[in-house]
Amino acid sequence: AQTVTQSQPEMSVQEAETVTLSCTYDTSESDYYLFWYKQPPSRQMILVIRQEAYKQQNATENRFSVNFQKAAKSFSLKISDSQLGDAAMYFCAYRRADSGGSNYKLTFGKGTLLTVNP
Amino acid sequence: NAGVTQTPKFQVLKTGQSMTLQCAQDMNHEYMSWYRQDPGMGLRLIHYSVGAGITDQGEVPNGYNVSRSTTEDFPLRLLSAAPSQTSVYFCASSFRGLTAYEQYFGPGTRLTVT
């Protein structure tokens, strides 16, 4: 079974600084997707960024980028120029890539609570 | 589009009571699922459906029933609520297919069982 581990229960960063959230995963599959979701106090789950395992290039979305190390099974999220609105719980998630029924299942890590200090 | 809607937003039940959490989506998504979120546990899959009339169990299905009579709706039933079912419940949906990357989440239902 796939597992996702987020080893940092809490992180803090100063406004305008850069922070990196860690995620490792375990899978025997060669093709899969990895995601970072943001959950602000409103509870809404918001997709921040995704990475397809077959792509070597790291995904980037504005101030958010990932460092995807397939061999090490590592998928960290870097937030640049942190803003107060970035404060939230961040979840790393894994999904198999083929389109069979149960393969849409997302396996989540336990989350990292990010605090942004003004 | 309203996206994924869930009702109610909050609910308090007594042990042994039954209730149904409602989930609906207006995006014609084939795949729908229910997760529960507990402190320090992340989100865990309860049940999922790949289309009308087709459902299957996820990681933590005990104590929950689902059905999918239409593409739009995927209700979650608690037949006899227990304190261990106190949690936040999320419904999610997506298209099927190799490029169906994103799952869309509802706003969640906070359930307390006393």
pLDDT tens-digit readout, B63-103 = 999 999 999 999 999 999 999 999 999 999 988 765 667 88
Q: Do B98 and A105 touch (CB under 8 A)?
A: no
Nearest Cα of chain A lies from the Cα of B26 at a distance, in angstroms, of: 18
CA distances from residue A56 to A45, A70, A77, B35, B42 in whole angstroms, order as listed: 27, 8, 16, 31, 28
**Mean pLDDT value of segment B41-65:** 93
Residues of chain A found within 8 Å of residue B58, distances taken between Cβ atoms: 105
What is the residue-averaged pLDDT of chain B? 93
- How many other CB atoms are found less than 10 A from the CB of residue A92? 27
Token pair for A10: 């809490």
With 80 as the cut, is the pLDDT of residue A104 above it? Answer: no
Integer Cα distance of A95 and A112 in angstroms: 19
CB nearest to A110's CB, from B40, B88, B90: B40
pLDDT of residue A105: 85
